[in-house]
Structure 1
Amino acid sequence: MPAARPAPLAVTAVLSACLTLATATAWAQASKLPVTPEQRRVADQVAAAGVPLSELAPSAPDTYTVKPGDTLWDISKLFLKSPWRWPELWGMNREQIRNPHLIYPGQMLVLVKVDGRARLEFGQRVGAGAANDTVKLSPQMRISALDANPIPTIPLALIQPFLTDTVVFDTDELAKAPRIVAAQEGHVVLGQGDLAYARGDFGGATDFRIFRNSRPLIDPATREILGYEAPYVGTADLIRPAEDRPRADGNTDVIPATLKIRLTKQEVGIGDRLAPAPQRNLDRYVPHAPDKALAGQIVALYGDALNAGQNQIVALNRGKRDGVERGHVFALWRDGPVVRDTTAEKAEAIKLPDERHGILFVFEVYERVSYALIISVQQPVKAGDRFTQP
């Protein structure tokens, strides 16, 4: 087969310019994503020597091609025993994997083992696609990959609805928030497209979320109120402000504000409260262990369930003031039961050891409370269960 002719100079220049621009844009965006100094420190240490083979997952593959739908958590779990130790995975080859947020579907990761240590490199398969084809290790930038999004840390679909559906207030401020006082044409409940009438201080906002009356989140240990969780009902747009309309007899009619219901998760009712809709930033949540000892308890399960399982959400009694960050990973513990030892001369009650049985991933943090996704679990989770650093 004749050798392929080189691209004309003009085409080469255009491709080079596009590649440079796209790469620069991707790097600029990724530079804003959270990578803590501690994570960089760990990655730098590992970059110098690689990871001990004892830290690799037992079935770590020699090569792996990143697929659409993969997450950083998935890939970390594939190569390492502890998925939250992603800085070590990233640090296996800092020369090529300079930013863990820029790993794309289609890229091949190659596990290289030398002198009892391991590291990752990017590679590309050379040959017809057979299992024994040669793998060529080389820095590479795939032009096609620039059109794809970098893989996320965890499946955002699991937490994205929650980021809209719930909010925690440090005080019971919803008690003073604008409230719906009447419904269109005497309706008792309202749905999408209906008009609602509300009174209160709107503070100049026009885009609102609608909540039921909030419930306190109470620390299982101290009984302190950590915040107020407000059940989400829907959204509404302010289409006409309130006004005080003078009457001929010298009195004034108080005309409530008019809102149009935009979306509903539940039926909107009289007495529901309004809060301005915040700007949401769906950062790439990067798993990492706390850099100091942290422990606490589960305050509540999100929703009405008595027990929670994998991929469900729980509220924790630790928040910003305690040093909790988005991306923190915690170990879940189940209290050891009290049993009777009948093997002694006189039977006595003994408490069995606590058992670790799951992993939590923190994705939303308030001042005194945070929310976590149950990544894995062996037994049902309930309010009062404790957690520690992994």
Structure 2
Amino acid sequence: MLKRLSRGLRTVFAVAMLTVATYAAAVELRGDHPDTYVVRRGDTLWDISARFLKKPWLWPEIWQANPQIKNPHLIYPGDVISLAYLDRLAVQPGPRSEAAPINAIPLDQVEAFLKDMRVVDEFEQLPYVVSLEGERLRGTQNHVVYVRGLTGAQPGQRYLVVRPGQRYTQTRRMSNGQYLPFKEDLDYRGKRLLTQTNDFNSGWTNMVLSEGPLEKLGYELARINAGTVTRGEVGNIEVTTLLLDEVGREVRVGDRVIPVDALAYDLQFFPHPPKTQLPVGKAQVLAVADANNYGGPRDVVAISAGARDGIDNGTVFSIWSNGNKVIDRVEYGDDRSDLSVPKGSRVQLPDEFTGHVMVFRTFDKMSYGLVMEGIKPTRVGYSLKHPDATY
């Protein structure tokens, strides 16, 4: 019996040591971490965990391991966070003077993308504004617009007015299989502007689309205004009358109309690595908010991967600038032109780490993310990898 008990104790001890070793391998504490930290209003879970951890996206694994914490995702201003037994984080509840717990990200910086933006596969079939009262060019609150295709709408029903602004696609070069993102602006009818070109750090324009299969990732619709139906299609009237009732942006001919719906989106985000392995180069930065080509911490970016790729809210990626192919001047000399050196003879440089991004809104083929931290600017066309990637 004593031998069996001894073997049992050794087994328990070995399992415990293995658990601690696995924990230590997965979670690295910062050398300069504070002993305690009092949570303040305006903090985010990401920023707080970055004070203790080298990898802030691992905080759920740490706090879930503490049985004394009733809900590791609900941390309030006034709570005291400290290092406890086995170097694990513990939380001492403070006074609940604040009604809401802090979040992983500042909601005010992504609110517009949660409430007012969406990505759809198609929009051409949606009803649209065909004219405005008095043949105005623009309409806003208390103005009347006329909508074509809103058959069956009844007085009193509410609708949103949205505008298709971007068309996102992705293609691949036949020569090397490299993924290439492409963002196209749309005109007032939602049609592609064929005269535009883009340079997403890949040295290509819309001429490259013929080099590989093109996949449409979606159309981005932005909320413009909202209104209430005052008169449907009656008699020989072929339009529905909509009274705008928001101060929002000005409505114009070509804007689309959709029913007011209660969008399902998350308000709490729990960081985690991607749940599936994506093809190399598949996840890229498609666009940066406010029509910029560059972005930094707390900027919103569009990502070329979505729910079908196993991406969900809270997924964390590392961001990498794509390594170029350069001419070996030692071998070829300074007098050789770029065109005279074949691409196959050039030297491939490594990708360079620039920061981390966390997904907060997911669609089928793409998603929105917030740049959480960065040591360099994030640019359209940069690749997204596992947060622990080293190259």
Normalization by structure 2: what TM-score?
0.72
2:271 is matched with which residue?
287
Instruction: Tell which deviates more after alignment, 316-325 or 258-267.
Output: 258-267
CA shift for structure 1 position 265 = 4.4
Q: Which amino acid aligns with 1:286?
A: F
2:116 is matched with which residue?
165
Aligned-partner SS, 1:363: strand
Structure 1 residues 302-341: aligned runs within 5 Å: 302-341=289-328
Identity %: 33
Alignment partner of 2:368 out of 342, 362, 371: 371
1:297 is matched with which residue?
284
* Offset from partner CA, 1:4-60 (integer Å, 9 cap, x none): xxxxxxxxxxxxxxxxxxxxxxxxxxxxxxxxxxxxxxxxx9996495397101221
Q: Distance in 2 between matches of 1:175 and 1:377?
A: 38
Question: Relative to 1, partners in 2 of residues 1:204 and 1:328: Cα closer, same or farther, differing over 3 Å?
Answer: farther
Stretches of structure 1 that go unaligned for 5 or more consecutive residues are: 1-44, 124-140, 246-252
Higher relative contact order at CA 8 Å, sep ≥6: structure 1 or structure 2?
2
2:194 is matched with which residue?
none
CA shift for structure 1 position 334 = 0.6
* Offset from partner CA, 1:129-169 (integer Å, 9 cap, x none): xxxxxxxxxxxx55x41752111111011111112232111
Stretches of structure 2 that go unaligned for 5 or more consecutive residues are: 1-15, 172-178, 180-212, 335-344
Q: Which amino acid aligns with 2:144?
A: L
1:7 is matched with which residue?
none
Q: Which amino acid aligns with 1:229?
A: E
Structure 1 residues 117-128: aligned runs within 5 Å: 117-123=86-92
Whether 1:272 and 2:272 are equivalent positions in the alignment is: no
CA shift for structure 1 position 388 = 1.0
* Offset from partner CA, 1:295-330 (integer Å, 9 cap, x none): 522223344223233222222221111100110000
Q: CA RMSD in A?
A: 2.8
1:224 is matched with which residue?
215
Question: Relative to 1, partners in 2 of residues 1:203 and 1:310: Cα closer, same or farther, differing over 3 Å?
Answer: farther
Aligned-partner SS, 2:377: coil
Q: Distance in 2 between matches of 1:197 and 1:317?
A: 36
Aligned-partner SS, 1:258: strand
1:89 is matched with which residue?
62
Whether 1:80 and 2:80 are equivalent positions in the alignment is: no
CA shift for structure 1 position 228 = 1.3
Q: Which amino acid aligns with 1:356?
A: F
1:36 is matched with which residue?
none
- How many residues align structurally? 314
CA shift for structure 1 position 275 = 1.5
Normalization by structure 1: what TM-score?
0.73
Structure 1 residues 136-175: aligned runs within 5 Å: 144-145=95-96, 148-170=99-121, 172=122, 174-175=123-124
CA shift for structure 1 position 373 = 1.3
Alignment partner of 1:241 out of 231, 234, 237: 231
Question: Relative to 1, partners in 2 of residues 1:264 and 1:332: Cα closer, same or farther, differing over 3 Å?
Answer: farther
* Offset from partner CA, 1:145-200 (integer Å, 9 cap, x none): 17521111110111111122321112x2x212111122123321112221212121
Question: Relative to 1, partners in 2 of residues 1:274 and 1:333: Cα closer, same or farther, differing over 3 Å?
Answer: same
Would the aligned equivalents of 2:128 and 2:149 in 1 still touch at CA under 8 Å?
yes
